[in-house]
Amino acid sequence: MLEKQRPTKANADNPPDGCWGRIGEKAPRDRRCERLSEMIRCRNCPVFIAAGRRLLNRPLSEEYQRQLTERYGLPIINAKTKAMKSFVFRVGHEWLGIHSALIREVVNMGPIHSIPHKSSRIFRGLVNIRGRLELCVSIGGILRIEADHREYSRSPERLIVVVKAGQSMVFPVSEVMGPVPYDKIDIKPLSPTISGSRAVYIKSVLSVPNRDISLLDDALLFRILTRNLE
């Protein structure tokens, strides 16, 4: 469901609380929008799609801009000596990294539409990325990472779009750190505490100040994710 906007001047095409919430498919039959007979579902309606695009394209909050300024304003130390780069994000309580070259874009969290008899712990459903329908999968589901509701940061959840061997898919994350350069000396072997599903898909651990990041085996991870989409 789309997030409700702060009330503004209402008009026929853009009611302040969203017409889908008042006269949409969940409203009593005698109060439903007459366009539903043609559109079937509110999410197929141009009004709903346009509202979703406005939501995704809304300006960044001052707080989030401040966080980005602080993060990317930090000095780069020995940037020229770092031979490799991993894109780092958090799922639940776990910090994970995949090869930066696989990342196509990062967008605001949006609704994930489940597919009857197909959605599962790993395959979440479909998401709309700038007008494209993309497959949404859960890395947390495949690694069996439990949801963690503690407040790690005020950063909002994000959707990360990745592409490998021509196959694109999207997965939700709790927080995005972004690209992190590193060298072989920054890598350490897996801890004995990492076991089960995580040990299968994690190839090594990247040690950075204040945290350890589990680097995922991209090839194995995508092979299993693709298999769950068949």
pLDDT digits (tens, 9 = 90+) for 189-229: 877 667 666 778 888 899 888 888 999 998 888 888 887 77
Whether the pLDDT of residue 84 is over 50: the answer is yes
* SS3 of residue 46 by DSSP: helix
Domain ranges of the chain: 19-56, 78-229
**Would the CA dihedral through 58, 134, 109, 48 be positive or negative?**
positive
pTM over 0.75: no
Give the mean pLDDT of 38-54.
85
Per residue in 136-147, pLDDT tens?
Answer: 998 988 888 876
Whether the pLDDT of residue 93 is over 60: the answer is yes
Task: Select the more confidently predicted residue: 153 or 76.
Answer: 76
Q: What would be the CATH architecture of the domain defined by 78-229?
A: Beta Barrel (2.40)
CB 213 within 8 A of CB 204: no
> Which pLDDT value is given to residue 14?
42
Give the mean pLDDT of 32-44.
85
Task: Select the more confidently predicted residue: 165 or 230.
Answer: 165
Whether the pLDDT of residue 87 is over 50: the answer is yes
Q: Exposure string (b/e) for 128-163, b if CB count within 10 Å is 16 or more?
A: bbeeeebbbbbbbbbbebeeeeeeeeebeebbbbbe
Query: What confidence tier does 90 reach under pLDDT thresholds 50, 70, 90?
Result: very high
